Structure 1
Amino acid sequence: MPVPEALDGTYAVAFAEPPEAPRELAREQVTARVAPPLRDLVVSMLDSPMLTLDLRPADGFPPLPASLLTQYGAPPADLAAVEAASHLLAVRAAYRPGWPPAHEWATRAIAGAVAAAAGAPVVDVFTPRILPQDELLRSLPNADGEIRLTDWMLLPHTAGPHGFWFTTKGLARFGLPELQTENVPPALVEPWGRLLNGLARRVLDLWLEQLAALETPVVVDLPETVSVGLQDVAAAQGTEEEMRREVSVRLRLDAPDGGAPVLTVLAADDGPDRLESLCTALFGMPRTGAA
């Protein structure tokens, strides 16, 4: 799997009135609102050419997609504030793949701090999604540099004629293809979503291990068959699990319609009801209602 030379993070702050000195405001608010050690990383990014702050009249940027912002749960008041904004501040950064993902941590922290001072909404341009302040703050790394992957990744799913189509939205932040599964039975929407969250955590760990082991990696080999366990599911949510129950899935690298590559998730063993068997093996028998 090819390793990108650099990864980009972009957030937009929608101002009713533009600030006079965005970089000074960012430094002041980050110093006041962001705790170390994250504060040190953010300030170092502010002092480097890897991070830019671009303040323009709102019509100087491509319009933010209101329909997608709504689809991803934008509160009506925040959506109205974005649409009425006189100016947008684009916070952008580039950084090498690996850990920490400084391009994402720094841009999200800066956008959140500046927005909090002005009472302005923050748009995660990657998704795109308006981030409420409480969710934004919760997503930032703790003092040990740990995050909940589910704060950085969404798992949208859509119904089709043969079941639901799942695809992650967030692994690309770290340089990975997104995961996808087709034809998931309706009864498995909840457990399969949990399994995919755990698998995303496991694949990210494998990816980061390979990047750390190589000096200047151009290509990383991920195994075709990957184990995902209850501990991975818990880790994706920022919790812990003592039980070590695991199942295996197969990953296939695809490029649908010539677009961005994705990792299609398949059962390691073919056969009828294979997705149901995986969910049952990992999570146990589904609960039945009382008679």
Structure 2
Amino acid sequence: MGENLTLPVPETLYATYAVALGAPIADPGRLAHDEIAARTRPPLRDLALGMLDSPMVTLDQRPADEFPPLPADLLAAYGASPADLTALDTATHILAVRAAYRPGHPPAHEWAARAIAGAVAAARTAPVIDVFTPQILAHDQLTRSLPGPDGTVRLTDWMLLPHTSGPHGFWFTTRGLARFGLPELRTENVPPALVVPWGRLLNGLARRVLDLWHERLPAGEQPLVVDLPETVSVGLQDIAAAQGTDEPMRREVTVRLRLDAPDDPVLTVLPADDGPDRLESLCAALFGAQDGRR
């Protein structure tokens, strides 16, 4: 067993959001500037305006039929209402908000693109589609997800945790860490009784891994690769931080990460120690015997 996992650092990360419009905007750039200035607090306001004035952000408005269709089935699976889907289906134009930035903290490409798309959408009462997920973001959901004055966000507002059933349990794969340049986390064969606690554990682990990633990508530097530890501790405080809350208790467990699928890398999450019922033991140790089974 090695001590570190070596992960490549992407040169550039991209974010794309779509605003589904009932009519074209005469000057999308001007509207975006005005709405960001009016609706967004600093320092996010200054970040978004600065990126709008640079080549790092593009606003591409076209008739809706000139863009590839968005997957209605996935949007519905990730929470889109019938009204959302109708608004998307009847949109005459789409404004694609795209941003690019280097990996590291802050993830300016995501923060700026989401803020700009949300501000334009609020002015036009239009739905916003997070193309990465894909997911339609309600206005209050989008606003809540943006960083506050201290630059903190809830990771659970930027990441989904879909799971599917298989012959030997559930498969979990995060959907969101790739926004920041990381492979997604995956766990196979999770017993049905552990779906809820294991999902909570993965949320906390995602936050912990993202913190480690950003620590190794200091401002102004961009290495070609980053080494992350193969064994990682995840605790109740990490889970709380992922959800934007506080937790005084410092209870932790340790898991092992394995880098799989070189063509589309994922980090498979495994117990640090081999043996039967290790997932059950981890959940019980972290949440307590009763909460670790639900």
SS at match of 1:103: helix
**Mapped pair 1:25 → 2:31:** yes
Query: Which residue of 145, 149, 152 corresponds with 1:146?
Result: 152
- Deviating more after overlay: 192-201 vs 70-79: 70-79
Question: Which residue in 1 is equivalent to 2:271?
Answer: 267
Rounded Cα–Cα distance in structure 2 between residues aligned with 1:95 and 1:117: 26
Kindly provide the amino acid, as one letter, of the partner of residue 284 in structure 1: G
Rounded Cα–Cα distance in structure 1 between residues aligned with 2:291 and 2:207: 26
Displacement of 1:34: 0.7
**Mapped pair 1:121 → 2:127:** yes
Rounded Cα–Cα distance in structure 1 between residues aligned with 2:151 and 2:45: 12
**Mapped pair 1:249 → 2:255:** yes
SS at match of 1:164: strand
Rounded Cα–Cα distance in structure 1 between residues aligned with 2:277 and 2:288: 15
SS at match of 2:15: strand
SS at match of 2:8: coil
Identical-pair percentage? 75
Cα shift readout 1:174-205 (whole Å, capped 9, x = no counterpart): 00000000000000000000000000000000
> What do you get for the CA RMSD once the two structures are aligned?
1.4
Kindly provide the amino acid, as one letter, of the partner of residue 283 in structure 2: C
SS at match of 2:225: coil
277 and 57 in structure 1: CA distance in 2 versus 1, 3 angstrom threshold: same
Kindly provide the amino acid, as one letter, of the partner of residue 81 in structure 2: P
Displacement of 1:213: 7.7
Rounded Cα–Cα distance in structure 2 between residues aligned with 1:67 and 1:188: 27
Query: Which residue of 244, 251, 274 corresponds with 1:238?
Result: 244
Displacement of 1:216: 2.8
Displacement of 1:215: 2.8
Question: Which residue in 2 is equivalent to 1:4?
Answer: 10
Rounded Cα–Cα distance in structure 2 between residues aligned with 1:213 and 1:32: 29
Displacement of 1:36: 1.0
* Residues 197, 291 of structure 2: 8 Å contact kept: no
SS at match of 1:111: helix
Rounded Cα–Cα distance in structure 1 between residues aligned with 2:208 and 2:280: 20
* Residues 284, 291 of structure 2: 8 Å contact kept: no
Rounded Cα–Cα distance in structure 2 between residues aligned with 1:286 and 1:8: 42
Kindly provide the amino acid, as one letter, of the partner of residue 58 in structure 1: A
Rounded Cα–Cα distance in structure 1 between residues aligned with 2:164 and 2:18: 27
**Mapped pair 1:286 → 2:293:** no
Rounded Cα–Cα distance in structure 1 between residues aligned with 2:104 and 2:290: 38
Query: Which residue of 63, 70, 79 corresponds with 2:76?
Result: 70
Query: Which residue of 170, 189, 214 corresponds with 1:208?
Result: 214
Rounded Cα–Cα distance in structure 2 between residues aligned with 1:99 and 1:213: 7
Displacement of 1:273: 0.4
SS at match of 1:281: helix
Structure 2 portions without partners, runs of 5+: 1-6
Displacement of 1:78: 1.2
222 and 160 in structure 1: CA distance in 2 versus 1, 3 angstrom threshold: same
Displacement of 1:147: 0.2
**Mapped pair 1:197 → 2:218:** no
Rounded Cα–Cα distance in structure 2 between residues aligned with 1:118 and 1:215: 39
52 and 284 in structure 1: CA distance in 2 versus 1, 3 angstrom threshold: same
Kindly provide the amino acid, as one letter, of the partner of residue 94 in structure 2: L
Rounded Cα–Cα distance in structure 2 between residues aligned with 1:167 and 1:259: 16
Structure 1 portions without partners, runs of 5+: none
Query: Which residue of 212, 215, 223 corresponds with 1:217?
Result: 223
Rounded Cα–Cα distance in structure 2 between residues aligned with 1:111 and 1:215: 29
Rounded Cα–Cα distance in structure 2 between residues aligned with 1:139 and 1:213: 23
Q: Normalised by the size of structure 1, how large is the TM-score?
A: 0.97
Kindly provide the amino acid, as one letter, of the partner of residue 202 in structure 1: R
Cα shift readout 1:206-225 (whole Å, capped 9, x = no counterpart): 00001118833100000110
**Mapped pair 1:38 → 2:38:** no
SS at match of 1:222: strand
Rounded Cα–Cα distance in structure 2 between residues aligned with 1:214 and 1:141: 21
Question: Which residue in 1 is equivalent to 2:91?
Answer: 85
Question: Which residue in 2 is equivalent to 1:58?
Answer: 64
214 and 22 in structure 1: CA distance in 2 versus 1, 3 angstrom threshold: closer
